[in-house]
Amino acid sequence: MTPAPTSEPTSERPSELIRLLLADDQHLVRAGLAALLNLEDDLDVIHQQSSGAGLVAAVQEHRIDVAVLDIEMPGMDGITATETLTATLEQPPAVLILTTFGRTGYLQRAMAAGARGFMVKDAPAEQLAAAIRTVHAGGRAVDPGLAAEALSIPASPLTEREADVLRAALTGASVKAIAAQLFLSPGTVRNHLSAAIGKTGTTNRAEAARQAQSHGWL
């Protein structure tokens, strides 16, 4: 009598994979992250890119479910990219910000832009995978330490123009150079700088810019 064939477990992936896009300008970080996430049975890194430029087209072309974005990237930063996806697409992917910079200001700005998750890069791989599943299911996933800290840190007091001026001031540019860069008059730049210095409780524009950056307001 011929023995009945035995069934063996298969290594096939689930039929409904979560399709991921990774955007990070550090190649080794991005490649390592993709390798780790692809070990998960239900996650599939479909597309990778090194900047925020062309993100909308890539999301549409590859039918992305979750976009995992770094914040500081060339072309378009992760927060601006999140705003663009949310405003442009009728059904945008869930966005999870993954960054080295665990700043509460970044967290507040990212969530206001439409992100559903915010994690730091030193989080364990299994925690990141769980966060991706959570945002894909419509929930929110935020680094617990940052979430608690954000409750005690006020939102940015700066106007959009004040933030623009301070961001330009980080380079050490003169008032005249900042004015030319932002298409403002030198007097208007001085007014914005003065207001930003007062709101940050600092004594000069360099201190104001550094403090705003450390809080993630820029």
Per-residue pLDDT of the chain (218 residues; tens, 9 = 90+): 444 444 344 445 455 899 999 999 999 999 999 999 999 999 999 999 999 889 999 999 999 999 999 998 988 999 999 999 999 999 999 999 998 877 777 888 888 899 999 998 888 889 999 999 999 999 999 887 776 566 556 677 888 898 889 888 888 888 898 988 899 888 898 998 888 888 888 888 888 888 888 777 88
Q: How many domains does the chain have?
A: 2
Q: According to the model, what pLDDT value does residue 95 have? A: 97
Q: According to the model, what pLDDT value does residue 97 have? A: 94
Domain interval for residue 26: 18-150
Q: Is residue 5 part of a domain?
A: no
Q: Is residue 12 part of a domain?
A: no
Q: Is residue 199 part of a domain?
A: yes
Q: Is residue 10 part of a domain?
A: no
Please answer whether residues 55 and 23 qualify as being in contact, where contact means their C-beta atoms are separated by less than 8 angstroms: yes
Q: According to the model, what pLDDT value does residue 9 have? A: 42
**Residue at a domain's end among 150, 171, 204:** 150
Q: Quick one: which of 61, 63, 66, 60 has its CA closest to 23? A: 66
Q: Is residue 13 part of a domain?
A: no
Q: At 129, which CATH number?
A: 3.40.50.2300
Cα→Cα distances 159→45, 156, 196, 202, Å: 37, 8, 9, 17
* Co-location of 123 and 38 in the same domain: yes
Kindly state the DSSP code that residue 94 receives in the 8-state scheme: E
Neighbours of 29 (CB within 10 A): 15
Q: According to the model, what pLDDT value does residue 2 have? A: 46
Q: According to the model, what pLDDT value does residue 11 have? A: 44
Q: According to the model, what pLDDT value does residue 108 have? A: 82
Instruction: Please tell me whether residue 21 adopts helix, strand or coil conformation.
Output: strand
Q: Is residue 87 part of a domain?
A: yes
* Co-location of 98 and 120 in the same domain: yes
* Co-location of 47 and 28 in the same domain: yes
* Co-location of 54 and 27 in the same domain: yes
Please count the CA atoms within 13 angstroms of the CA of 87 that sit on its side-chain side.
Answer: 8
CA distance 102 to 215: 9
Q: Is residue 50 part of a domain?
A: yes
Neighbours of 81 (CB within 10 A): 28
If you write DSSP's letter for every residue of 154-218 in order, what string do you get?
PPP---HHHHHHHHHHTTT--HHHHHHHHT--HHHHHHHHHHHHHHHT-SSHHHHHHHHHHTT--
Q: According to the model, what pLDDT value does residue 83 have? A: 92
Please answer whether residues 45 and 37 qualify as being in contact, where contact means their C-beta atoms are separated by less than 8 angstroms: yes
Q: At 170, which CATH number?
A: 1.10.10.10
